[in-house]
Amino acid sequence: MPLQQTLKSETQVLVPNDILLLIFDILIDEAVESQEPIAWLLLYGDVETWTGRLSLGVASEEDAQHKQMEPRYRNKALRQRFRATGLLRQVSKATCHLIHRKFRPATAFYLLDDKPVTALVLPDIDLFATTHLPYAWNTFKSLEPEVAADDKRLILTLHNPRSGAQAVLDYIQHYHVSLLDCTDPARHDRLAITLKMTNLKELWIECGWMWWQRYTRRTRHAGIRRISSVIFSHLHKLRPVYREAYPVFRQLQKRGVKLYCIGNWLVKLKVIQIFVTKDDTQMQWVEPNCPECLTAGSPCDAGQDADVESEPDSGPDWDSDWDLYYQSPVSDDANWDAQELF
């Protein structure tokens, strides 16, 4: 039937459900592709929700100015997820169900707000953490009392999750931990949380002090090799301390979880992949730039010793401060700024 006759006809044209579902799936996939990753903080909340006491917060650089922002600019990251699927939600409950297969619902607080809201999580691209940059290099005792108390309650909640909290843990595929969580025995329970994350694919660990100029200028060879003391001076030095975390790392590796080191929480750049054996830790560059390695598709023989040669330091001497910091569960320097590491 011609299109004009069809439009004038009183006969209703029905689209088969299978075709509608395919159209909805395509639209939902397009909505997913349009989204940027969100870094979520796992938080302990006093308000009881379907996730128990567990909720999410958005980790962003806007948090400090959040209360001074106009209402229309607040919760921007949360609203963008809903706007991407807004029209589809209005079709029927069935489309909402399809949306929630990709955009997973969870309870969220925007850090400085008091009321819980519903957030939409994209497990394939979103990153999760229990600590943010200002707290990543400190222990419980160096936090404000209220924050430290909530932090301890959060760890207990994550180790004994209710069904709703376990659902959120099952969302997590990319998880960030601070270097201190891996090296301080007093914080081993924070690292052990990762064993509760059944769908975890990548664990992101901070590198500590990293020489970015050396990273960008030096030739990075393919293949597994020793951790570069030239670029990752503190990570190399702390390998013996890492042994406290070896049991957790090995269990994660057996499950197929990849361990990465990132150089900066704000940029979230994966620099190296690490491999934990029974007695040592080795590394592999995420983005090698050696022409011979890239051409051959396999590691070349050069550069095995170049990563551990000594070079004169052109920056501040952190070694003594770092030793004191990791020998003590609490940093004595109240003005110590983690931003200076980057």
Q: Report d(CA 81, CA 34) in Å as an integer.
A: 9
Supply the DSSP string of 17-33, one letter for each residue.
Answer: HHHHHHHHHHHHHHHHH
Supply the DSSP string of 55-123, one letter for each residue.
Answer: EEEE--TTGGGGGGS-GGGTTHHHHHHHHHTHHHHTT-HHHHHHHHHHSEEEEE--SS--S-EEEEE-T
User: 184 phi and psi, to 5 degrees?
Assistant: -95, 115
Q: Report d(CA 176, CA 174) in Å as an integer.
A: 7
Nearest to 157 by CA among 80, 70, 51: 51
3-state SS, residue 206? strand
pLDDT of amino acid 65: 41
Amino acid at 129: A
What's the full length of the chain, in residues? 342
Q: Report d(CA 236, CA 322) in Å as an integer.
A: 13
What tokens appear for 186 in the block? 């007093």
User: 315 phi and psi, to 5 degrees?
Assistant: -120, -165
Q: Which residues does residue 157 pair with via DSSP β-bridges, in sequence order?
A: none
pLDDT-derived band at 56 (thresholds 50, 70, 90) equals: confident
What tokens appear for 40 in the block? 């979520």
- Greater confidence (52 vs 44) lies with 44
Q: Identify each DSSP E strand in 37-165 by its residue range.
A: 39-49, 52-58, 104-108, 117-121, 127-129
Q: Report d(CA 289, CA 264) in Å as an integer.
A: 20
Q: Report d(CA 115, CA 120) in Å as an integer.
A: 16
Query: Does 273 have pLDDT greater than 60?
Result: yes
Cβ contact 63:133 at 8 Å = no
**Termini Cα distance of the chain:** 67
pLDDT of amino acid 187: 76
pLDDT of amino acid 69: 41
pLDDT of amino acid 203: 93
The predicted-structure confidence for 296-327, as pLDDT tens digits, reads as follows 777 776 655 455 544 434 334 444 433 333 33
Q: Report d(CA 324, CA 336) in Å as an integer.
A: 13
H or E stretch at 260: strand 258-262
Secondary-structure breakdown of the chain: helix, strand, coil percentages, each rounded to the nearest 5: 45, 15, 40
**Portion of the chain with pLDDT greater than 70, in percent:** 63
Q: Report d(CA 172, CA 197) in Å as an integer.
A: 6
pLDDT-derived band at 255 (thresholds 50, 70, 90) equals: very high
Nearest to 268 by CA among 129, 120, 137: 129
